[in-house]
Amino acid sequence: MTSEKLISTDQHIKILLEPEGFNVTDYHDISYGIQFSVSFSDWSGVIRIYQNNKGVIRNDYSQLRNDEHASKIKAILGRKETPGREDVAGIGFPIIGSDESGKGDYFGPLVSAAVYVDERSAKLLEFEGVRDSKKNSDKKNEELAEKIIKICHDKYSVIEISPEKYNDLYDQFIKENKNLNTLLAWGHAKAIEELLAKVECHNAIADQFADERFILGKLQEKGKKLNLIQMHKAEVNIAVAAASILARARFLQKLSKLSSEFRIDLPKGASVHVIHSAKNFVATYGKDSLRKVAKLHFKTTKQVLSG
């Protein structure tokens, strides 16, 4: 009996190759997998898809001639096949990945996102080229965010902390002798908790920005049962990568909305260009309004208000 995972992979390969001018035939069963033909004008070749005893899917390109068409197919399908990427945390699927965006940007909100990924959605996300948002252009992140939403349906959550709310929370945490990590943990915890209200999952993974107790301590009763793993460069996990893209896309959307609302370009980051824009903002709206668009604890604020 043909595996649903193999059929799903075959269908997705069609989706990727046919818009590029390749003709993909219907698959037929072979030992341990399926195969189909791919053609372009008078060129043709065969691709096979196997599933090993651990359920891992592998594409076999050995029946393709080593020429420009084969190279293009491999590039389209992303033949990087990073072993362990789908199980970098060592706990398999399903898993929830969480990440944030806006932490290093003076203007705009802090956005946290959490995404539930199972074996099926993991493969589809891989095929779409989902990776750490920092490796993508803004346009690419926005395009991938739409694809992630379609693949994962409602199994994700995005928590947006506006600049004004961010400043209020930051001030509150400082008074309680807490730091920025507490605020970051608050965002991660809210995103994970909101997602746990939609799905049942026992494992989650996030980037290691602090002791995991910063997140677990903020989770409510259901979230406290979660096995949370924090690791450096967690974005290599497909669930965290997807979360990073959703968070970045929302950040970009809200930053653009703030720019339109105040009719002043509010750039990303914390560069000299950002300082110049912030000074224009203060000159137009006054320094008290700066808290509506910027994270005031940044050193940038002193540079903006110093003259």
- Number of neighbours of residue 163 by Cβ within 10 angstroms: 25
What residue numbers bound the domain in which 15 lies?
4-83
Count of domains forming the chain: 3
Here the CATH number for the domain that contains residue 58 is: 3.30.310.240
Structure tokens of 19? 């818009």
In whole angstroms, give the CA distance from residue 56 to residue 271. 44
Whether residue 127 is found in the same domain as residue 189? yes
CA-based torsion, 82, 85, 88, 92: positive or negative: negative
- Per the structure block, which two tokens stand in for 34? 């399926």
User: What value does the mean pLDDT of the chain take?
Assistant: 87
Strands 95-101 and 110-117: antiparallel
The token duo for 139 is 């346009």
Do residues 74 and 155 both lie within one domain? Answer: no
Give the domain CATH number at 217. 3.30.420.10
**pLDDT reported for residue 84:** 35
- Give the predicted TM-score (pTM) of the model: 0.72
**Residue/partner pairs of 78-87 with CB below 8 Å, 24 or more apart:** 78/126, 78/127, 78/129, 82/236, 85/126, 85/236, 85/237, 85/238, 86/56, 86/119, 86/122, 86/123, 86/126, 86/238
Quote the CA–CA distance of 77 and 47 in Å, as a whole number: 11
CA neighbor of 162 nearest in space, from 278, 265, 296, 271: 296
Residues 167-219: tens digit of each pLDDT: 999 999 899 998 888 889 899 999 999 999 999 998 899 887 766 677 877 77
Last residue of a domain, one of 255, 275, 294: 255
Residue 149, pLDDT above cutoff 90: yes
- Give, in order, the Cα–Cα distances in Å from 160 to each of 157, 249, 252: 10, 11, 12
| Final residue of a structural domain among 218, 234, 255 | 255
* Amino acid type, 116: Y
Q: Residues 2-54: pLDDT tens digits?
A: 666 677 677 778 877 887 889 999 888 887 788 999 999 889 999 998 877 66
Coil, strand, or helix at residue 92? coil
Which of these, 37, 35, 186, lies nearest to 103 by C-alpha position? 186
* Rg (alpha carbons) of the chain, rounded to whole number: 23
Q: Same domain for 53 and 161?
A: no
- SS3 (DSSP) at 60: strand
Which of 234, 255, 276 represents a domain boundary (last residue)?
255
Helices 272-285, 238-262: crossing angle, 10 deg rounding? 40
Query: Positive or negative CA dihedral for 235, 238, 78, 84?
Result: positive
Indicate if 153 and 28 belong to the same structural domain. no
